[in-house]
Every structure is written in structure tokens, then in C-alpha cells.
Structure 1
Amino acid sequence: MYEAQTYDAILQRMLDRVSDDIDKRPGSVIYDALAPAAAELAQMYIELDINYNLSFADTASGEHLSRRTAEFGVNREPATKARRKGLFYGANDVPIDVPIGSRYSIEDVNYVAIGKIAAGVYELECEQAGTIGNQLFGPLLPIDYISGLALAELADIIVPGEDEESDDALRERYYKAVNEPAFGGNVADYKQRLNAINGVGGVKVFPVWNGGGTVKCTIVASDWGVPSAQLVDQVQTTVDPTVNSGQGLGTAPIGHRVTIAGVQGVTINVATTVTLSTGVTPGQVQGPIEDVISAYLLGLRQDWANQTQLVIRVALIEAAILTVPGVIDVTGTTFNGSAGNLTLGEEEIPLMGTVVVNA
């Protein structure tokens, strides 16, 4: 808005106000007196422009964006802690119980036992908020001595941890809240309520899916994978704890009989034939090709809630493979042994399978 208010423009305007019979050349008394003031005014206009942009949701960031969206009841989602399944064994691989509140570590990330699921199986909560709690699997080391414990293992993700909501995600949610008002159990209402639950990354709502008054909500986990049964149960309890009762005991309106389901994962096995630069071997490009395919599938999963059906396209996979250094051509790409694009169901997401690279 204030792009024209540069140091040179401000200084020139100030000099223009001085009579021409006075020396205004650089180095003169007048010039040297006005130049510092022009520099300060230019800096002021820069800061005015920044503050102007911070007053609007489309250009605000950080705390300023949070304060803007909060005026409409849209608050930035804080980072949450991952909840994982922990397996505990004594001698001869016999499951043993461990104390609630006992702590365990894996690569400087700590977990605490918060509940028992079954004999030797516990729900662990990461002590650090964010996606860091989702990333590691394998042997755990007890921080405190646990009598009889021979082996502890960090296993499945129950509820994924989430990082603090980004500016872009908050801004998008704010626009949806303003432009798609949630009211009385409409589709926008279900989406907003379910997306606010920890561990939920996206949701599709199917109204009247099994007759009048029925609603089906299919969710994807916040790590963009298939949600655990525990997460699905947690969301069901929050929305309609007595399944299909319509009693309004959860967040669902009275008369809405709600079923919560998780997305179904479809493993995608990719085979492709590439032409490589001189001196490049298939082994050198195998890993990078797997990485670009994995990134493409992740992007599809992240957009699942916004699409009726996901389509895995040969052209886009091959375009991604062509970005790998050393690959100069690609052809004959198949998904699960079939040529052509692969269309998934409304409640299906693609999961990374095997990648066979022929050269």
C-alpha cells in the first residue's frame, strides 16, 4: 500500500518544499538535515505497511492471525501428544503388567503409561507434543527400574500427535467457518466438529446413508493414514456414544443416528521402466523413486476429504519419477499389475506398497 513512499521519494518531496535559492545539493546543510528524517519516515511507512497487512486474515501471520480468527470463534489448534500402544514382556516373552505412570524412552523421546489395554499391553502417551511422537517404533528403555521387565516395545499409533496448527491450515479453516456456516447438524457442522477432535485429519460426511436420520462420517487420521480402532471408537463416543440411538447424548443433534468409520487403505504396488543416464544404475534411483511416489500418494491422502474419489494417475506418477536425477525417460508404469489410472472408492486411500524399477 505504501510502496511509493521510498526514501528517495520522501526526501525529494521535502527538498521540493525548500526555496530554490537555497543550496539543496547532497552535502549541503539542508540536504544533510532532511536526509535522516526522510530515512526515518521511509522506515515508518514500511512498518505501517506491515501492520496494515497484519490486520487482514489473508495476509496476517502468527499471533496476529490467531487473534483475527479468534474474533469469529476459530482458535488455533495447539500441538497434541501422540498416544501409542506399548508391549511389555517378562522372561520367556510372557506379557507382564507395568505401573501406571512408569516412563520409557526411545531415542530421547519419552513416553508414560496412562492406561492398561490388556495383559502386557498399555496405552502410552508421548511427553512431547507434536508429530515427533508418531515417528519411532521399536524397543523402549525404562527410565525407572521395572521389576521383571525383560522387553518393552513401542508399537501401533492409537491417536496420532499433531503439531500446532499452521497459519495456512488455520486460515483455510477460518474461511470455511465464515463462508460455510455450521448449524444444527448440517454437513459443515459435522466436518467442523469432527476435524476439531485430536487425531482426526479429515472427514467425509454421508447424510441419509441408511435411511432418514442416519449419518455416516468416515475419518482419516491426522497422520494421513488409516485410523486405529481406538480412535474410531473415541470419535464415536464423542459424537454419538450409544450408536445409532439418536438420543443426542454426544455432539450429534437429537434424532441423528451417527456411525463413525475409518477410511480403508488400499496398498499400491508400482512397477515402472526407466531409461537412465550413462553410468547410473537402477539401485541408485530406487530410493529416490520410492520417495517421490510416496510423496505423491501422501498428497492424495491429504486431499482425500476434499475429493469424491481419489484417482492415482499414471501421468503424474511418471512426471514425479522424471524429477529424479539420472532418470531421462519413463514408460510402462502399472498399479497393482494393471495399466492405466486407478480410481479408488469414496472411503479408500492409497498406501505405499512395493516399487519395482526396471531399466
Structure 2
Amino acid sequence: MADVPMYLQEQTEENIMNRMLAKVPSDIDKSEGSFIWDAQAPVAFMLSEAALWAQELLRRGFASTAASDVADIRSPELDLRAAEHGVTRRAAVASSGTVLFTGRPGTVIPAGTTVATPADEVSGESSVEYVTTAAVTLSDSGTGTAPIRAVVPGKQGNVPADVIQLMMSSIGGVMSVTNPEPTRSGADTETDQSLLERFYAKVRSQGTSGNKSQYMQWANEIAGVGGVEVVPLWQGPGTVGLYLIDTDKRAASPEIVEAVQQHIDPTQDGQGEGMAPAGPVVTVMPAEEIEIHISVKVQRTQEQPSTLEEIRTLIEDGVRAYLQQIAFNRKDPLVRYTRIASVLLDIPIIVDYSELVINGSAEQQNIEIGSGQVAVLGTVSVSE
């Protein structure tokens, strides 16, 4: 805590012992090893320990100090404090995507079929398993696409394209499986800092009578939601549009969108069957992704050898972090050319760059992101 109350300051065993001995008459032996000293020493120790307990109890009693800065720690005291105001920690969300099966035409692959990524013995990374959520019959060309969901919820289910390669149970007629696109929208159990932020939003910015703040609070109660944009009068009077992104600042998955829709306005008839008041018809939608494609020539430093692939990865990480930072920021709805240029110059192994082209334009122009849209990283091409 920032400030410990006076009555809990300097409550060390030594200080407590000295105060106790000061109360003993001067004509009584109170030197170390005497009867009085030996009798008071355990008491001083227990009182100092009780003072530490009191400090810890005081720390856990406030949301700001109960919340941990460590991403892997979840404070039960923060859960209790937030629950007093109707704010509960969001559970982990399973990643979702699609897989492409290849095999004999007409082969039926039932729902619940388990597929997985191979384990990596070098890095120790374990296999990630998924189940199909719908049956699929292979077409005349011998292919078929099925939706999948990760068996274990969490971000570990978000994997790149073409890494799901294993069938966990053999199905006659199926020769191979892969995921053409990355799996997305998996999220870990909400962190303390995220829960604290939502708790503050609830108690400091009260949403009432279905105003914009209240719609945002309702949407953020659903696990996996990473941002909300509210559009009043979306399709005229009596309509409200909600655009969603996930915790990776990408367009929310259909599962997240449906969960928010069911939570706020499941019937969409203005009857107020969900959290939304009677009257407005609420439509929940994923944000429209605007891809940012980058091409650039770089000059590498000679002091630190590197490859163009390493540079490309660093550029992708830097630009992706920048785009996540500005996602759904209506105060500055621009992807700025200069900010992307600064990402390049912040990479130590890049001495200089030239011919920076963003979305096909070499002009130093910003890209405006409209309502309901979110900028995401597209392709990055690096050359010398």
C-alpha cells in the first residue's frame, strides 16, 4: 500500500520489545536473559506478526491494492470486492476456427472429431487439441470444411495457419487435415488488471437508462470481448448497433458475438428480454477488419548480423502492438504513417529504411479507420 496507517508503522519486534521494556519499573532486572525479558520476547514477536497480518488485511480490502500486476495471479479478494458491484471475472474462452479435411469423396466426418497440432519435442510445447462442432461430408473433389473449437479454453488455442495436422482418432477415407486460417478469439481467464479496469468503469462511470456506457458495460461482461463500439440510431430511431473486437483486437468470433447478443437483446424485438431496456432493438456485430499491408526496403546494421526474416518478424510485432493500441480509439481514428515509420526506426538492427509503402501507397498518408472498423496487420514485405 502507498501509505500505511500510523498505528501500523514501525511495528517491528524490536520496537515493540523496547516499548514493553520501557514500561517495566527501573528497579527490576530487564536485561536480555532475565525473567522479564524472556517473558516479553514471545509477546513482542507475536504482536509484530499481528501487525503484518493487519497490513495484509488492509491491503486486500481495497480493489486497487488487492489486484496483482502479475498476469498469472488471480486475486480472490478482488473477485469478492468486484462482485459487490455486480462485476465478475470473465472466464477463459476457447479458440475457434475451421479445418479442411481431404480424402475419399462422400466420407462423413462426424461432429466431435478431435484434431490437433503436433507436439514440439525441442521446445517442449505440447499438442493443442480441437473438436469439430459440426459434421461434414467430403465433396466430389474429396475436400470438406468443418468448424472447430479448442478443447482447453485459453490463448494457447490461437495457432497459426497450417499447423493443425493430426487426426486423434482414425476415420476411414480421411487422408489429411489442416487449418487454412489461424484459429482465433481464444482468451485466458481475465487478469486482475483487466477486472480492476472494468470495476472502476462500473463504479466511476455509472451506466444508466441504456446509455452508451451501460451498453459497453453489458458487452464487456461476456468473456472474450476486448472492445466495444456503440452506434446509437444505427438503423434509425429505436436501433442500436454494437461492434465487437476480441482480446487480440481482432474482429470478435461468431461465438462471442452470439453470446453478447443473447446477453443484451436475445429476441431483437424491443421487448427487453435481455439486459437492454424495452424499446431499442440491439444488433451485435463483429468489427470489420481493415488490413494494413506494408512493404519496405531496409538497411541492416553490420555490427549485429540478422536476416530479413528476423527483421520482418520484429516489424510485424511492433506494428501489431501499435494497431492493438489504437483499436476502437475514436478520438484518433487514424493509422498514422509516421507511427509505422517510428516502429521501423525503433528496431536496433535497422539502420535506415526507404520506399515504405502502406496499402499500396508510397505517399505519407494516414489511413482513416471508420466506425465499426478495426485495423489489423496484413502482409509485411521486407527487402534490401
TM-score range, shorter chain: 0.7 to 0.9
Q: Quick one: structure 1 residues 18 and 343, their matched pair in 2 at CA, closer, same or farther if it must change by over 3 Å? A: farther
- TM superposition shift of 1:241: 5.7
Q: Which letter does structure 2 place at the counterpart of 1:89?
A: T
Q: Equivalent residue for 1:73?
A: 86
Please state which structure has a larger fraction of its residues in strand: 1
1:22-48 residue CA offsets vs partner (Å, 9 max, x unmatched): 455556654455444323322221121
Q: Which amino acid in structure 2 is aligned with residue 191 of structure 1? A: M
What is the CA distance between 1:202 and its match in structure 2? 1.4
Q: 3-state DSSP class of the match of 1:294?
A: helix
Aligned residue for 2:157, secondary structure, equals helix
How many residues are matched? 353
Task: Give the Å deviation of 1:288.
Answer: 2.9
Following superposition, the deviation at residue 191 of structure 1 comes to 1.5
- Which whole-Å deviations, capped at 9, do the CAs of 1:121-178 have from their partners, x for residues lacking one? 2222211111112224423322222111111223446872221111111111122222
SS of aligned partner of 1:81:
coil
Change in CA separation of 1:73 and 1:48 when aligned onto 2, cut-off 3 Å: same
TM-score, normalised relative to structure 1: 0.82
The answer (yes or no) to whether the contact 1:84–1:155 under 8 Å persists in 2 is no
| Matches of 2:174 and 2:130, distance apart in 1 | 16
CA distance in 2, matches of 1:273, 1:17: 79
Residue 293 of structure 1: how far off its partner (Å): 2.6
1:324 aligns with 2:343: no
Structure 2: any 5+ residue segments left out of the alignment? 68-74, 119-126, 139-143
Partners of 1:95 and 1:174 in 2: CA distance? 53
Which segment is superposed worse, 54-63 or 110-119?
A: 110-119
Choose which of 17, 20, 23 in structure 1 pairs with 2:23: 17
Q: Secondary structure at the match of 2:278?
A: coil
Residue 97 (structure 2) pairs with residue 84 (structure 1): yes
Could you tell me how far 1:192 is from its partner in structure 2?
2.3
Q: Residue 326 and residue 125 in structure 1: after superposition, are their counterparts in 2 closer, same or farther (change >3 A)?
A: closer
Partners of 2:350 and 2:48 in 1: how far apart?
51
Q: How does 1:250-329 map to 2 (within 5 A)?
A: 251-270=275-294, 279-280=303-304, 283=307, 286=311, 287-301=313-327, 304=328, 307-313=330-336, 316-317=339-340, 320-321=343-344, 323-326=346-349
Partners of 2:274 and 2:17 in 1: CA distance? 65
User: What SS does the aligned partner of 1:146 have?
Assistant: coil
Cα distance in structure 1, aligned partners of 2:41 and 2:211: 61
Deviations 1:167-207 (A, max 9, x none): 11111112222233344432233212222334432111111
CA contact (8 A) 1:158 1:228 kept: no
Match of 1:126?
150
1:106 to 117, 123, 126: 117
Tell me the distance in 1 between the aligned counterparts of 2:115 and 2:306. 41
Q: Deviations over 1:270-298 (max 9, x none)?
A: 46677765523563761334322322222
CA distance in structure 1 between the partners assigned to 2:188 and 2:229 by the alignment: 22
The 3 A distance-change label for structure 1 pair 40 and 234 is closer
Q: What CA distance in whole angstroms lies between the structure 2 residues aligned with 1:276 and 1:145?
A: 49
2:52 corresponds, among 38, 46, 51, to 46
What residue in structure 2 maps to residue 224 of structure 1? 249
Kept in 2: contact 1:83–1:161 (CA 8 A): yes
Q: Secondary structure at the match of 1:177?
A: helix
- Please give the residue correspondences for 1:228-247 in structure 2 after superposition, counting only pairs within 5 Å: 228=253, 232=257, 235-236=260-261, 239-240=264-265, 245-247=269-271
Alignment match, 1:140: 165
**Residue pair 1:106, 1:136 contacting (<8 A) in 2 also:** no
- Helix, strand or coil: the match of 1:128? coil
Deviations 1:23-78, CA, capped at 9 Å, x for gaps: 55556654455444323322221121111111112212411111111122211111
Task: Tell me the CA shift for residue 109 of structure 1.
Answer: 1.3
Please give the TM-score of this superposition, normalised by the length of structure 2.
0.77
